[in-house]
Amino acid sequence: MSQDNQHLVRVGLLGIGTVGGGTFTVLQRNQEEIRRRAGCGIAITMVADLNVERAKQVVGDHAEVVADARQLIANPNIDVVVELIGGYGIAKTLVMEAIAAGKHVVTANKALLAVHGTEIFAAARAKGVIVAFEAAVAGGIPIIKALREGLTANHIEWVAGIINGTTNFILSEMRDKGLDFDVVLKEAQRLGYAEADPTFDIEGVDAAHKATLLSAIAFGIPVQFDKAYVEGITKLSAADIKYAGQLGYRIKLLGIARRQASGIELRVHPTLVPQRRLIANVEGAMNAVMVQGDAVGTTMYYGKGAGSEPTASAVVADLVDIARLIDAPTDTHVPPLAFQHDSMSAAPILPIEEVVTSFYLRLRVADQTGVLAKITGILAEQNISIDAVIQREADEVSGEDGNQTDLIILTHDTKEGRMNTAIAAMQALPTVLAPIVRLRKEELA
Ligand code: NDP
Ligand code: HSE
């Protein structure tokens, strides 16, 4: 196929919901500018969606609409298949079939790639087609391209990001407006941010899918979602958000991938971040990803991480990349995970016990002489150094009588395994009256 301004790259769209609808609209609205950038036209000429009538209302007479996705994949006139159905089920089958049919594929489906990426990228390589997935991480922010291409000179040390808009929206609204969790979640769903199954958002699974992809691209390791440590925001209490604020921190759900000498940390959990960091001030459904490279230092990428057109912006960028490369020899394609497939690293993903970080602990204790000494003694036994201790006066602990108080301890860096041992010992003290709250803290300096 030759590339010229008259030529058209024909796209088949699987699923025209929130992101699919945005993709159709953006391609239509900006088609002339996109043609000037791509060197040829790009048009969605066929759509497959279970709801044919709704799809027809979106595309009018600009594209053929069918209910059967396989009819689209079998169409020899389709050059690129865009998968915007979601999930690991039918989406995987259709992506594999599209690759087998020799079609390039664009997808926003982080769940699919984080779990089945190794198989999908291998099939694409064997067939000489591109699988592009900019929209799969941080929606409209071109973080895949930045990490894979813009930062290619660097030895990447760590990547840390707010990579789930729904949870950031929930945390922001709860803190700023005092709204209840359920109310804010419903609003995120109404705005099209949340996954089909919102537990993926609030339990940290969606962020872990994205962190898995970032770790693979940053360090040249295979996608290994099953080894990620995942903790969501459902157990976070208003008291900890408040105390963190009093100590100069905000709590964000971060996805973190960090290189250590012995392997790679891959984790998602609520994290205390100093209020003065830019990333601590990323609010609402906005996303931000920090990348630390040895040459460039710290960089940060900020923008809308979800929603119809922001995500479509990334899908269309992938389509332009493919249109530019459609006639190019396959060995000129950029490797999907940044590193050549025969140069991948075998560095292991470290178990959470091996992760090194600092901690925020909150202990509900009996307000008696000697309690603090016992607790600091247990931490000292584990060689855990204390950064700060504050005690809330008994009357500041809402709803409690004067015999109890909250102790908040910030520690310096230590291995999670040591902290587990210390927490078990502290929890066994008769003066510790409730389950100890443990949150991780990152300076991101
Ligand atoms: P939606 O649920 O809005 O859209 C999915 C569409 O696919 C629906 O129209 C659905 O039809 C259709 N569909 C389901 N099964 C089939 C099938 N077998 N054949 C054809 N069509 C089918 O999802 P989103 O647009 O929100 O998400 C799409 C993908 O993008 C997901 O992987 C998601 O994780 C990802 N993503 C979403 C973002 C967002 O902000 N929403 C941001 C970044 C990524 P029906 O409704 O009738 O079931
Ligand atoms: N559910 C996801 C989020 C969509 O809230 O960030 C974007 O991937």
**Is residue 1 in a domain?**
no
Burial class (CB in 10 A: 0-12, 13-18, 19+), 118: middle
Crossing angle of helices 18-29 and 52-59, rounded to 10°: 20
What percent of the chain is predicted at pLDDT more than 70?
Answer: 96
Domain count, the chain: 3
Q: Find all residues with CB under 8 Å of 93, minimum gap 6, and list them.
A: none
The response to whether residue 135 sits with its C-beta less than 6 Å from ligand 1 reads yes
| Amino acid identity for residue 74 in this structure | A
For residue 129 the two structure tokens come to: 């087609």
Dist. CA 313–CA 36, nearest whole Å:
16
Under a CB-based contact definition with an 8 Å cutoff, are residues 320 and 314 in contact?
no
Tell me the CA–centroid distance for residue 194 and ligand 2, in Å: 6
> Is the per-residue pLDDT at 441 higher than 70?
yes
For residue 57 the two structure tokens come to: 């209302």
Residues 279 and 242 in one domain: yes
Closest CA to 20 of 70, 65, 61: 65
Residues 60 and 116 in one domain: yes
Under a CB-based contact definition with an 8 Å cutoff, are residues 175 and 190 in contact?
no
**Is residue 375 in a domain?**
yes
Q: Find all residues with CB under 8 Å of 136, minimum gap 6, and list them.
A: 107, 108, 109, 110, 113, 144, 209, 210, 213
Answer left, alpha or beta for residue 408, where phi above 0 means left and psi between -120 and 50 means alpha. beta
pLDDT of residue 5: 55
For residue 325 the two structure tokens come to: 């490369």
**Sorting pLDDT into bands at 50, 70 and 90, what band is 401?**
low
Residue whose structure tokens are 């309690």: 371
pLDDT of residue 117: 98
> What's the mean pLDDT when you consider all of the chain?
95
Report pLDDT digits (tens) over 56-103. 999 999 999 999 999 999 999 999 999 999 999 999 999 999 999 999
Residues 436 and 386 in one domain: yes
Under a CB-based contact definition with an 8 Å cutoff, are residues 315 and 134 in contact?
yes
What are the residue numbers of the active site? 210
Residue 87's CATH number:
3.40.50.720
Dist. CA 263–CA 395, nearest whole Å:
46
Residue 182's CATH number:
3.30.360.10
Tell me the CA–centroid distance for residue 119 and ligand 2, in Å: 24
Query: Which secondary structure element, helix H or strand E, spans residue 333, and what is its range?
Result: none
Instruction: Give the range among 105-119, 251-265, 289-303, 392-406 with minimum mean pLDDT.
Output: 392-406
pLDDT of residue 445: 87
Tell me the CA–centroid distance for residue 220 and ligand 2, in Å: 24
The response to whether residue 18 sits with its C-beta less than 6 Å from ligand 1 reads yes
| Mutation choice for ligand 1 from 106, 311, 316, CB with most ligand atoms inside 8 A | 311
Under a CB-based contact definition with an 8 Å cutoff, are residues 57 and 25 in contact?
no
Residues 297 and 171 in one domain: yes
Q: Of the bound ligands, which one is closest to the alpha carbon of residue 285?
A: 2
Q: What is the largest CA-CA distance in the chain?
A: 83
pLDDT of residue 192: 87
Q: Of the bound ligands, which one is closest to the alpha carbon of residue 170?
A: 2
Residues 225 and 321 in one domain: no
**Sorting pLDDT into bands at 50, 70 and 90, what band is 394?**
low
For the CA of 308, the closest atom of ligand 1 is 40
Tell me the CA–centroid distance for residue 83 and ligand 1, in Å: 8
| Mutation choice for ligand 1 from 19, 73, 163, 191, CB with most ligand atoms inside 8 A | 19
The response to whether residue 168 sits with its C-beta less than 6 Å from ligand 2 reads no
Dist. CA 364–CA 130, nearest whole Å:
54
Query: Which secondary structure element, helix H or strand E, spans residue 214, and what is its range?
Result: helix 205-219
Residues 158 and 281 in one domain: yes
For the CA of 135, the closest atom of ligand 2 is 8
Residues 109 and 150 in one domain: no
Report pLDDT digits (tens) over 227-256. 999 999 999 988 899 899 999 999 999 999
Q: Pairing relation of β-strands 156-162 and 249-260?
A: antiparallel
pLDDT of residue 397: 57
**Sorting pLDDT into bands at 50, 70 and 90, what band is 430?**
very high
pLDDT of residue 408: 97
For the CA of 188, the closest atom of ligand 2 is 5
Half-sphere exposure of 280 (CA within 13 A, CB side): 19
More confident residue, 308 or 403: 308
Report pLDDT digits (tens) over 303-342. 999 999 999 999 999 999 999 999 899 999 999 999 999 9
Give the mean model confidence (pLDDT) for residues 372-377.
97
**Is residue 89 in a domain?**
yes
DSSP state string for 219-267: HT----GGG-EE--STT--HHHHHHHHHTTEEEEEEEEEEEETTEEEEE
pLDDT of residue 345: 97
Q: Find all residues with CB under 8 Å of 304, minimum gap 6, and list them.
A: 139, 140, 141, 165, 285, 286, 287, 310
**Is residue 2 in a domain?**
no
pTM given for the model = 0.96
How many C-beta neighbours within 10 Å does residue 14 have?
24
Residues 155 and 254 in one domain: yes
The response to whether residue 15 sits with its C-beta less than 6 Å from ligand 1 reads yes
Residues 243 and 272 in one domain: yes
**Sorting pLDDT into bands at 50, 70 and 90, what band is 2?**
very low
> Is the per-residue pLDDT at 155 higher than 60?
yes
Instruction: Report the helix count and the strand count for the chain, using DSSP H and E.
Output: 15, 17
**Is residue 395 in a domain?**
yes
For residue 117 the two structure tokens come to: 């990426």
Residues 132 and 188 in one domain: no
**Is residue 348 in a domain?**
no
| Mutation choice for ligand 1 from 14, 16, 18, 318, CB with most ligand atoms inside 8 A | 18
Helices within 300-339 (DSSP H only): 308-325
Report pLDDT digits (tens) over 333-371. 999 999 999 999 999 999 999 999 999 999 999 999 999
Residue 417's CATH number:
3.30.70.260
End-to-end C-alpha distance for the chain, whole angstroms = 49
Range of the domain at 379: 354-441
> Is the per-residue pLDDT at 399 higher than 70?
no
Burial class (CB in 10 A: 0-12, 13-18, 19+), 226: exposed
Q: What is the DSSP letter of 146?
A: I
Tell me the CA–centroid distance for residue 189 and ligand 1, in Å: 13
Residues 152 and 268 in one domain: yes
**Is residue 243 in a domain?**
yes
**Is residue 397 in a domain?**
yes
Q: Of the bound ligands, which one is closest to the alpha carbon of residue 97?
A: 1
Dist. CA 184–CA 174, nearest whole Å:
8
pLDDT of residue 6: 67
Tell me the CA–centroid distance for residue 316 and ligand 2, in Å: 18
Report pLDDT digits (tens) over 156-212. 999 999 999 999 999 999 888 878 888 889 999 998 888 888 999 999 999 999 999
Residues 124 and 150 in one domain: no
Under a CB-based contact definition with an 8 Å cutoff, are residues 404 and 394 in contact?
yes
Three-state DSSP class for 274?
strand
